[in-house]
Amino acid sequence: MDITHVSTSTPETVVELTELIEKAHSTTVEEVYLAQANKLSEQLNGNLKARDILKMLQDYPPREYPEPEPLGKDGKPIK
């Protein structure tokens, strides 16, 4: 777990870690280590989700807004 960096996670890394967690659980590894592995797995998944959201935001086309109506001295639209 020490060599796994959250910022460089990939879907393959998450799958590999999940398999290792399942293997550790079946061989009755201490709960402390399983808790750390589960926390790391959540961080990896969160990082992947954040990168997906960032990509969607970057790919979103810019919006075009209409010109605002001019306002009079009283703050109401001029007709």
Q: What is the pLDDT of residues 3-25, one digit of tens each?
A: 678 888 889 988 999 999 999 99
User: How much is the average pLDDT of 45-55?
Assistant: 95
Say what angle helices 31-59 and 11-26 make with each other, to 10 degrees.
Answer: 160
Give every CB contact of residue 2 below 8 A, 6+ residues apart in sequence: none
What is the pLDDT, as a whole number, of residue 9? Answer: 85
The model carries a pTM of 0.69
**Predicted pLDDT of residue 2:** 60
Mean pLDDT, rounded, for 28-50: 93
pLDDT at 79: 73
Total domains in the chain come to 1
